[in-house]
Structure 1
Amino acid sequence: MAGTASHVGKSTVVAGLLRALSRRGVDAAPFKAQNMSNNARVAVIPGGKDAYGEIGVSQAVQARAAEVTPTTDHNPVLLKPSGGGESQVIVQGRARATVPAGTYYESHWETARAAAIESFERLAATHDVIVAEGAGSIAEINLADRDLANVETARFADARIVLVGDIERGGVFASLYGTLELLPDDLRERVVGLLVNKFRGDRSLLDPGLCELESKTGRPVLGVLPHDDPGLPEEDSLSAPAVGDRGVLGEEDGIPTAEAATVAVPRWPHLSNATDLEPLASVPGVRVAYVPLDATLATADAVVLPGTKNTVDDLRAAREEGFDDTLRSFEGPIVGVCGGYQMLGERIENAHVEGTGSVDTVRGFGLLPMKTVFSPEKRVQRRSCGVDPVPPLRGASGRATGYEIHMGTSTVTGDHPEPLEPGSVAQDGVLGTYLHGLFENRSIRRAFGDAAFGAAGISPPMETGTDSDPYEAAADLLETHLSDQYRSLLHLDGTPD
């Protein structure tokens, strides 16, 4: 699944196809040779005993759609931007180095390509179908000789290519046609069809253009998918608001703003794992609002401090804007996750300061009795733990599952509740935890939502039915709008050849 650009919907199309294949008993798996994202999930490292590494969120989501265990083979190369034009290079789950963008191809390209081929071959040996996702546009001609996720993957996988275009942006006909024209000859021959995504309106008005597009390209239009978000976690950076911008999630539930509770989320300069907030926004009546660091929090009922790739730098940026004083005066429930948790403590020791190469002890916000000591080792693991229903999680029960990806060890000072995994801490309605995926646990997101409603002085709206399954919704979206005569191209007509 290749795209004409970033954010055209490739990830959702891949997830929907994988679930549709799984429905038919086809053993399928996702693959993305190289990804760039600070939204990562924990996956199994093949061949290692209880060994875990990092992959991009979309491939973890796609593995779940395919109903297979996420492994680092699904995304063998992950680049995590760390600021200053540098990225941490994750190869088959493990961090290898942090390098400037300009030197990556000189220092790690061959290693990355070899790892991608190795991972693909392992997957191909154990699955019937591999659904690979490209990155950005497949026609970036300045990168054609080193485009691992698109050009190289299509070649070493001997893949058939479906080209996805986004009609919402406008110019979808030119995008699809122009992308085909710019492809190397051998890749153009591999394109078996086109998909138009995110369509709104009367399909009959589109048909003349589709017919001419097929005539000009010699490729069939496999389907037109409507603009209908099934609710899968986002990964692309375009899904998060820009620094200083305000973005609000959860406004589509039809509940008036006056009857809603607002959870404010500071938009760190180095925000990571923003997908942690998406499940919370699915609670009816909860609005998740990204706010700039100089925000007053006057309209907020609760606050969540999300993860960050650069805890110390974002902590200092927040202090420069006065956010620490604002947060200390806030009286509602507060949750800090990973880097946000580290900021809530008394201090951070052995902290790397961006641009200086030096280390220092940095004062935290001081809302939790905890200190963090940084070290070069990164903790990457899955977690399952009991829930102690202390504020702001009063009413939560059962066990919480999630994952940890962080550097630094936090130590709680004094006798305070550890409501989740050891090292978490709660005090006076403030909770800190390393557990990414916290709000994917229904009991916890409902409890925190109730705390936000309580702070707002309003009652939570009545629940209607159960949460829908976004994986089934993605498959339904694809199956409903895929042209019947082309289903065999995507192995949806029975057993794969």
Structure 2
Amino acid sequence: MAHTLLVAGTASHVGKSTVAAGLCRYLADRGVSVAPFKAQNMSNNARATPGGEVGVSQYVQARAAGVAPSTDHNPVLLKPRGDGESQLVLDGEAVGHFEARGYYDDHWEDALETARAAHDRLAQSHDVLVAEGAGSIAEINLHDRDLANVETARFADADILLVADIERGGVFASLVGTLELVPDDIREQVAGAVITKFRGDRSLLAPGVEEFEDRTGVPVLGVIPHDDPGLPEEDSVALPPVGERSVVGDDDGVTDDKSVTVAVPRLPRISNFTDLQPLASEPGVRVAYVPPDSSLDDADAVVLPGSKNTVDDLLALTKAGFGDRLQSFDGPIVGLCGGYQMLGEAITNADIEGTGDADRVEGLGLLPVTTEFSESKTVEHVERDLHGVGPLSGASGTVEGYEIHMGDSTLTGEAARPFDSDGAATDDVLGTYLHDLFVNDTARDAFVRNTFAAAGIDPPAASEQDNGDPYERATELIATHVDLGPLGLPEQ
């Protein structure tokens, strides 16, 4: 059976996913058969695999480990949809929508057995499993039902690597407090701790590290500097809260008058926002996550992202007057998945998707499309021939991506097709179900080029800066700054 290492955290967004991905690649580079695992994930950022959908971090970690992503890597996925409900996905298949109490009362045992069975299958075919925890392992109100942390540590007999973020302040209090609150039966499984996001002189931490180790008997195995390797974000905590504006990208010295801004409405139930990450990496491109009631006066293009609840997010945009402002906007507009559905004329069977009882909801009216919801769900990896139309004019060739959506969209009027069997486009507006559209060079280059042209700005010269492979950057952080010896991991 495999050796399982649980990468647990003192809180959310402390760097667990990066540490886990770095460990997966580090071991794979040394010939160790390794696979990722996360018993239960709560995220609206998902990816399609041959067996269904998994959280984006496990998809990324599988690629880092050099194995094909599988639903066994994330057997239980909860996708929040509003009003306290989440869609429950077991072994890659959606089984229904449940409030937290209903999940724990009626489906917890099924989730536990699903996770345990997936772990056992992986453990029979790999030497090491790098398991990622969720949130904090010290949530004492959840210790009797903490599948991703406590139960994983128990059924996998896992060594635990505790990760804490110094950028938030109080790192030693977080570490000590977490260890105090970890259930007694797994406390001795904590093999070490890692401090992440450190800036400054490492020697200044030495007195704190020494006292922490004396107090707890847990060694600090590494202090990782503040460095974002560029892996996709899993948690929406990485985005600005609803009602606040945040801009990412354009840190390459391009001046304001040579830059363009892509506005993205910060939907209350935004999903798969990693679709925008490739744009933010382009020279001279800023991606601005804006409140739904925000002006578009400073925007040069707009991208409507995916949503876990298209109907309720559409209603939120309409209430905020976003649709009226979008109607008068004269730059490129792209809708991805749920954003595509919102750009249409209407959504029918809306009560299947939304939390209200309305059967029909009016869309934003920018594309001649009607979307009808049903209980069925599409989850697949796709490869398609791209036709350069609308905001993607000038693009051509084959693109890859994935679809994860409920509802089917039908053309109700004249519109071009960006793909033979998907999407709709006019001169300035395009919608598609294809996630990862902008990962493809031909689509991204066309959109960026057309955005600069619409803004009347010459695009900057292509950047010569190479930030490197994000997997290798994550691996380098582990190899350089973490002592893995006490964890007893094999190195072939």
Cα distance in 2 between the residues matched to 1:68 and 1:257: 43
Counterpart in 1 of 2:487? 489
Matched, 1:477 2:474: no
Aligned CA distance change for structure 1 residues 299 and 306 (closer, same or farther; 3 Å): same
**How far off is 1:356 after superposition?**
6.7
State the one-letter code of the partner of 1:416: A
State the one-letter code of the partner of 1:123: L
**How far off is 1:186 after superposition?**
2.2
CA contact (8 A) 1:412 1:423 kept: no
**How far off is 1:346 after superposition?**
1.6
Higher alpha-carbon deviation: 171-180 or 222-231: 171-180
Cα distance in 2 between the residues matched to 1:340 and 1:305: 5
**How far off is 1:7 after superposition?**
0.6
Higher alpha-carbon deviation: 176-185 or 78-87: 176-185
Counterpart in 2 of 1:48? none
CA contact (8 A) 1:347 1:362 kept: yes
Counterpart in 2 of 1:5? 11
Counterpart in 2 of 1:19? 25
For residues 3-60 of structure 1, what are the alpha-carbon distances to aligned partners after superposition, in whole Å with 9 as ceiling and x for unaligned? 0111100000000111111111211110000011111111232xxxxxxx11111111
**How far off is 1:237 after superposition?**
2.0
State the one-letter code of the partner of 1:494: E
State the one-letter code of the partner of 1:9: G
CA contact (8 A) 1:163 1:194 kept: yes
State the one-letter code of the partner of 1:39: N
> Equivalent residues in 2 for 1:54-453 (5 A)?
54-352=53-351, 358-420=357-419, 422-453=421-452
2:46 to 40, 49, 69: 40
2:36 to 12, 16, 30: 30
**How far off is 1:357 after superposition?**
5.1
The DSSP-based 3-state class of the residue aligned with 1:387 is strand
CA contact (8 A) 1:373 1:410 kept: yes
The DSSP-based 3-state class of the residue aligned with 2:388 is coil
Cα distance in 1 between the residues matched to 2:420 and 2:287: 25
Cα distance in 2 between the residues matched to 1:462 and 1:339: 33
State the one-letter code of the partner of 1:412: L
**How far off is 1:308 after superposition?**
1.0
Cα distance in 2 between the residues matched to 1:126 and 1:254: 48
State the one-letter code of the partner of 2:123: A
CA contact (8 A) 2:191 2:486 kept: no
CA contact (8 A) 1:29 1:68 kept: yes
CA contact (8 A) 1:353 1:359 kept: no
Aligned CA distance change for structure 1 residues 472 and 348 (closer, same or farther; 3 Å): same
The DSSP-based 3-state class of the residue aligned with 1:235 is coil
Q: Percent identity?
A: 63
Counterpart in 1 of 2:4? none
**How far off is 1:490 after superposition?**
5.9
Higher alpha-carbon deviation: 102-111 or 349-358: 349-358
For residues 307-364 of structure 1, what are the alpha-carbon distances to aligned partners after superposition, in whole Å with 9 as ceiling and x for unaligned? 1122122212211221111101111001000111011112211211788753422221
Cα distance in 1 between the residues matched to 2:24 and 2:314: 40
Higher alpha-carbon deviation: 434-443 or 461-470: 461-470
State the one-letter code of the partner of 2:41: N
State the one-letter code of the partner of 1:240: L
Gaps of 5+ in 1: 46-52
CA contact (8 A) 2:10 2:137 kept: yes
Alpha-carbon RMSD: 1.6
State the one-letter code of the partner of 2:395: A
Aligned CA distance change for structure 1 residues 445 and 488 (closer, same or farther; 3 Å): farther
State the one-letter code of the partner of 2:157: D
Normalised by the length of structure 2, the TM-score is: 0.95
**How far off is 1:196 after superposition?**
0.5
For residues 365-418 of structure 1, what are the alpha-carbon distances to aligned partners after superposition, in whole Å with 9 as ceiling and x for unaligned? 221121111111111111110111223113323211111111111112345321
Cα distance in 2 between the residues matched to 1:115 and 1:420: 37
CA contact (8 A) 2:352 2:374 kept: no
